[in-house]
């Protein structure tokens, strides 16, 4: 299938020049158990390599042939054959592997060895968020990787392509090599001077129709009901001035905010609508609203395109007033996730270090719901210093704020975050834990002395999820049974063995006039699951469903 995508892309290979092959390492996981938290189980545009390839092709002083090979289209037993086919076809001079997620690390050695065996003179590079946060360890462990790019890669690759001596260029920032590590040199990021230069992503480098985006949760999402969803996404800013304990973003893109100008964004949106018929636009900014005047103007100008907008990373609620809520709705948002993280002021301010007071939350939720926006919130459970009382405060906040849906993540000590440093220093995780062994959907912190044990925290977090989203679901409480049903359907689209989703979907169908067959089918599914799965039997017992 890789060859098919490459042929459909329309990106012609020009004679001469430098050929760059950008390989997206496997990251997809199978649909996980419903009793786990979030997993990366959908295929998304490889936006980072698309941005890099588009930039280098457009701005390099020398001719560049850029090819993208996304290994997530293939089964694991065929990826080496696919890579070999691509190497034989394109004979690349520079090969970059994109490692955005730690679970991809297991493939680095085998693939990099294959690349070097094919052409020892080709540069084999590694980049991406997870590569950056673990660069020192990786460059020591991976004998076939020539260099790792620290943070952003557009300018770095452009300079490398243009250099008369590419091996010598690797001695400069932002490259990390075995030599730079042995000499004790630390790489510094090299940022794009003008973010307007990276907005015009060339989607002809891939088969755009082959990708889907199923991360954003919403009862209004059209993934199931419409075959004609043409979805693209955009990052309109880089950087984050906040220093949340669990986040590595400032380490990756810096604390200073950088923006793409609104005119450039609108021109790109118009291009995506005109050329591809885009009808869903997903923002992947970490701080979409922080410049409130800019955000409001952007939303005003997007309204005319009649798009559905998403922001699955969440937004910082302190920047939302009545006008912002109205403009977001008019622009095309039907769902907004708020990055709240905790319902305890102590946890927010003293542990997470997030400048948010919980008294600010309810007015923002009201403003959004007044504009018929479905309001989600993200919460992190199990941070060192968080106690049972704090988690009860979170449950109370969800009730008091009248949230439509709540997402619960287990605190994960990702490399590059302050939380990782704390956990290593205090012995909450093994200091020798390998790359890829901190799994985002498993609780790795083990500190019984402060009330943090994997089994306990995992259970507590999931019970919070069941209580807020199913047992006390807001849409059910206010009598909006169609919206409730869509929520439960969306859950089952992701996790078809979710017992509570079957149970409450049957109830929603009962109230909304669903077919007797559908009601009965979901009831049977519920009973079948709890009879065969002890963990679901346990959860059902907690809430007296059996």
Task: Compute the mean pLDDT over every residue in the chain, rounded to the nearest whole number.
Answer: 91
CATH number for the segment(s) 473-546: 1.25.40
Prediction pTM value: 0.91
| Token duo for residue 391 | 């988690």
From 95-109, 425-439, 501-515, the region with the lowest mean pLDDT: 425-439
Confidence of residue 448 (pLDDT cuts 50, 70, 90): very high
CA distance 102 to 39: 12
Q: Which tens digit of pLDDT belongs to each residue from 258-292?
A: 999 999 999 999 999 999 999 999 999 999 999 99
pLDDT at 545: 96
Q: Which tens digit of pLDDT belongs to each residue from 345-375?
A: 999 999 999 989 999 999 999 999 999 999 9
CATH 3.40.50.1980 holds for 212-472: no
CA distance 66 to 94: 10
Share of residues in the chain with pLDDT > 90 (%): 79
Q: From residue 153, how far is each of 23, 49, 333 by CA, in Å?
A: 14, 9, 31
Q: What is the mean pLDDT of residues 162-167?
A: 96
Name, in order, each residue with C-beta under 8 angstroms of 210's C-beta and a sequence gap of 6 or more: 5, 43, 73
256, 241 in Cβ contact below 8 A?
yes
Share of residues in the chain with pLDDT > 70 (%): 91
| Token duo for residue 442 | 């498993």
CA distance 329 to 282: 14
Phi and psi at residue 258, in whole multiples of 5°?
Answer: -125, 145
Cβ neighbour number for residue 179 with a 10 Å cutoff: 12
The domains of the chain are located at 2-182, 212-472, 473-546
Q: Which CATH class is domain 2-182?
A: alpha beta
pLDDT at 436: 73
Confidence of residue 31 (pLDDT cuts 50, 70, 90): very low
The beta-carbon contacts of 80-87 under 8 Å, at least 24 apart in sequence, are: 80/110, 80/111, 80/114, 82/2, 82/3, 83/23, 83/111, 83/114, 83/115, 84/114, 84/118, 85/2, 85/3, 86/2, 86/3, 86/6, 86/21, 87/21, 87/115, 87/118, 87/119
| Token duo for residue 207 | 């088969």
Strands (DSSP E) contained in 114-156 are 123-127, 147-149
**Alpha helix stretches (DSSP H) within 31-78:** 47-59
Name, in order, each residue with C-beta under 8 angstroms of 37's C-beta and a sequence gap of 6 or more: 408, 409, 410, 441, 461, 462
CA distance 378 to 180: 40
pLDDT at 42: 62
pLDDT at 39: 42
């Amino acid at each position: 299938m890789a060859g098919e995508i490459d042929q459909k892309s329309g990106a012609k290979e020009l004679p001469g020049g430098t050929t760059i092959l950008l390989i997206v390492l496997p990251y997809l996981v199978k649909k996980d158990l419903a009793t786990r938290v979030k997993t990366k189980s959908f295929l998304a545009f490889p936006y980072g390599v698309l941005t890099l390839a588009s930039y280098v092709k457009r701005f390099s002083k020398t001719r560049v042939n850029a090819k993208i090979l996304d290994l997530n289209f293939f089964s694991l037993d065929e990826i080496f054959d696919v890579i070999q086919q691509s190497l034989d076809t394109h004979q690349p001079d520079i090969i970059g592997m994109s490692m955005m997620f730690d679970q991809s690390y297991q493939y680095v050695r085998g693939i990099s060895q294959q690349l070097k065996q094919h052409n020892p003179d080709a540069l084999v590079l590694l980049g991406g968020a997870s590569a950056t946060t673990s660069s020192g360890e990786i460059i020591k462990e991976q004998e076939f990787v020539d260099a790792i790019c620290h943070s952003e890669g557009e300018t770095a690759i452009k300079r490398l392509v243009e250099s008369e001596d590419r091996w010598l260029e690797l001695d400069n920032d932002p490259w990390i090599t075995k030599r730079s590590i042995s000499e004790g040199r630390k790489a510094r990021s090299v940022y794009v001077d003008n973010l307007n230069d990276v907005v015009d992503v060339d989607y002809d480098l891939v088969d755009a129709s082959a990708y889907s985006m199923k991360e954003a949760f919403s009862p209004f999402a059209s993934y199931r009901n419409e075959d004609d969803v043409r979805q693209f996404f955009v990052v309109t800013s880089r950087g984050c001035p906040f220093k949340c304990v669990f986040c590595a973003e400032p380490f990756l893109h810096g604390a200073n905010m950088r923006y793409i100008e609104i005119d450039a964004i609108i021109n790109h949106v118009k291009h995506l609508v005109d050329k591809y018929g885009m009808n869903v636009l997903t923002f992947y900014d970490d701080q979409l609203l922080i410049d409130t005047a800019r955000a409001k103007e952007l939303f005003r100008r997007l309204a005319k395109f009649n798009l559905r907008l998403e922001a699955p990373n969440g937004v910082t609620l302190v920047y939302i007033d009545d006008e912002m809520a109205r403009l977001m709705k008019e622009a095309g948002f039907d769902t907004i996730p708020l990055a709240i993280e905790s319902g305890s002021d102590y946890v927010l301010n003293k542990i997470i270090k997030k400048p948010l007071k919980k008294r600010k939350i309810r007015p923002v939720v009201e403003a959004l719901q007044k504009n018929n926006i479905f309001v989600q919130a993200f919460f992190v459970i199990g941070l060192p210093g968080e106690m049972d009382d704090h988690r009860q405060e979170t449950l109370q906040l969800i009730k008091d704020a009248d949230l439509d849906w709540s997402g619960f993540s287990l605190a994960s000590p990702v490399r590059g975050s302050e939380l990782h440093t704390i956990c290593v220093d205090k012995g909450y995780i093994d200091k020798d834990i390998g790359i890829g062994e901190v799994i985002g959907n498993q609780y790795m912190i083990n500190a019984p002395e402060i009330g943090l044990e994997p089994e306990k925290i995992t259970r507590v977090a999931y019970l919070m999820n069941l209580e807020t989203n199913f047992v006390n679901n807001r849409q059910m409480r206010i009598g909006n049974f169609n919206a409730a049903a869509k929520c439960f359907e969306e859950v089952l689209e992701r996790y078809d063995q979710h017992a509570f989703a079957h149970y409450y979907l049957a109830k929603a169908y009962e109230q909304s006039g669903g077919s007797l067959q559908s009601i009965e089918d979901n009831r049977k599914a519920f009973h079948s699951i709890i009879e065969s799965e002890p963990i679901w039997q346990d959860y059902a017992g907690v809430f007296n469903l059996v």
